[in-house]
Chain A
Amino acid sequence: MITLGQATRIYAEMSWMRLRRGKMVWLCLALLALPVVIAGVLAAAGQWGRGLFDSLLEIQFRFLIPFLPALLASSAVAEEIEERTFTFLFARPAPRPSLVLGKYLAIAVPLAAATALSVALSFAISMARFPSDASALVPHLLRAEAAALLGVLAFTALAIVIGAIFTRHPFVAVIGYLLIVEAGIGSLPILLNLIAVSWHLRNLAELPLPEIAFLTVQVPIWISALVPAVLGALCLGGAALSVKNAEYGGR
């Protein structure tokens, strides 16, 4: 009997084959190249060092890290429902949750790798003129990389679970979440912003946080690392559970 791991691997392979033959993955790669290009342009214009690198991280953490998983993962489950190809899949003995896990791997792993590369290249270009300063900023780079990876993993899981629930308009639903919770609540100068993944990612990456006017809150970085990790795992589990019990063949 096919195991969860075997089925996950097959689904991942299948999803990646479809993904790399589509346009979306190339669009995402082009968008991830954008900070590197901007870094090159600004470096040529005379901007260097941590200031430039942090400006590039702003592009990553404000836009690319939340938005690219939405582009790639929001319709991961929904496209099977809309195109009714799930009927081929659920007539098989493969465990249903493997569909979610396989798609997650097919999207999150390459996206995380490409994001990590984009951050690393941005850093390299920002530090190219004064390489001696770069070593002092390596811990900052590592924290930014860790935050970027956690961000991609968590936002991909979020996009998958939201897309699995709102199968009619998955992308709109994910963008709605990003605007309301991440961009909206996450930027508010109140304690409520702690529910936003992006707040914790910024904390982890040592980027400026929204000011909390009447409370001084220091959130340890291990908590900020734990929040996206746990949230991502919960979302993935939720999506797997939703697909496991769902009946999509109805009228």
Chain B
Amino acid sequence: MTPMIETVHAARWYGQVIAVSDVSLTLGPGVTGLLGPNGAGKSTLMKLMVGQLRPSRGEVKVLGESVWSHREVLRRVGYCPEHDGTYEKLTALEMVTLLGRLHGLGGGEARRGAEAMLERLDLAGAMHRRLAELSKGMRQRVKLAQAMAHGPDVLFLDEPLTGCDPLARVKVLEVIRELGARGACVVVSSHVLYEIEALTSEILLIDKGQVLAEGDLYAVRELIDQHPHKVRVACDRPRELAGALLPAAHVLSIGFEEGAIAIETREPDRLYPAIPEAARALGIEIASLTSPDNNLASVFRYLTEERDKPGAAGPRRTPEKTGGAA
């Protein structure tokens, strides 16, 4: 099956500055989070994918076609840019309707689509007000509405939650998840890890123009085979449990915390069954077992640190995507 988005050794540079470097990836239906710090190259990668920039090298294909100036492809694409610029003199409804018409929708159809999407994003009461009068969060939702009102198959959302209050965030996340569940390919960029975490486990980690890792959060976790995986076990007799686990070859170290031990391993698959086994043998009661490494922050931090180490290899990738990505 043709991937919905495919980049092959795509690179983009501005003079001496490399914004995106040798990115090869494929994405299928579902929501994928594009994660990276500010200036990582997320927006440039997105502009390449939405056909606003041409790659300096390599290829960027959307729906099987090179996206630059490909009108048939653009007809099925939606894009919400990162910037705050809107048509301040137009009302929210006018902007979304006119942009819908530029997608080839008829006047009535575009207006109905715009109204429905603005209502869906809780902007029913504000759609007849000029954009200059709306708050930043409301304008952000208008931007989202213009990207989604024509029912795109591929949707690019660059920092879509910027400026949204908590209630609006919930609404926006809900709409994005729905689109992904309906089979659209949705790429959402953010530098805020928990935003992506709340949306999907399919991620692309990008920094300095390179993809550090891609895939399911757990697949990414497997990728980090040199990174000691930390497991925190809260129990009634931590020292005894530590004594039982320490001789195992897959255990690198054990630290003590109040009422708990923190175990480091490179083979979590072996460690996880070993813990309850040891506890059962010693009659130890386990209160909780958590892995702080399963959040995106730790994965991103680790990969960035690894990449920045002297003599580190290039970008690391999972061999293939899992879950929602192709």
Contacts and interface: CB of A to CB of B under 8 A. Distances in A.
B79 A91 contact: yes
B17 interface: yes
A91 B83 contact: no
B72 A1 contact: yes
B162 to A, nearest CB: 14
B54 interface: yes
Contact of B51 (A13, A14, A90, A248): A90
Contacts of A248: 52
B273 interface: no
Contact of B87 (A18, A87, A90): A18
Contacts of A130: none
Interface stretch (B93-101, B216-224, B312-320): B93-101
A179 interface: no
A92 B89 contact: no
A87 B79 contact: yes
Interface string A1-37: 1100011001101100110011000000000000000
A91 B73 CA distance: 10
Given A18-B87, A18-B89, A95-B71, A89 B81 contact: no
Contacts of A91: 50-52, 74, 77-79
Nearest to A7: B102
Contacts of B102: 2, 7, 10-11, 89, 92-94
Interface in A94-123: 94-96
Contacts of B17: 251
B85 interface: yes
A94 B51 CA distance: 13
Interface residues of B, number: 34
A2 B47 CA distance: 22
A84 B52 CA distance: 12
A1 B50 contact: no
Given A18-B89, A251-B14, A93 B75 contact: yes
A75 to B, nearest CB: 14
Contacts of A96: 69
A88 B72 contact: no
A107 to B, nearest CB: 15
B103 A87 contact: no
8 contacts: A10-B101, A87-B81, A87-B85, A88-B99, A91-B51, A93-B75, A250-B14, A251-B19
Given A87-B85, A91-B74, A248-B52, 15 more contacts: A1-B71, A2-B104, A17-B89, A17-B94, A18-B89, A83-B85, A87-B79, A88-B146, A90-B51, A91-B50, A91-B52, A91-B78, A93-B102, A250-B53, A251-B14
10 interchain residue pairs of minimum CB distance = A91-B79, A93-B71, A2-B104, A87-B81, A83-B85, A93-B75, A92-B102, A249-B52, A21-B89, A84-B85
Interface of A: 1-2, 6-7, 10-11, 13-14, 17-18, 21-22, 83-85, 87-96, 244, 247-251
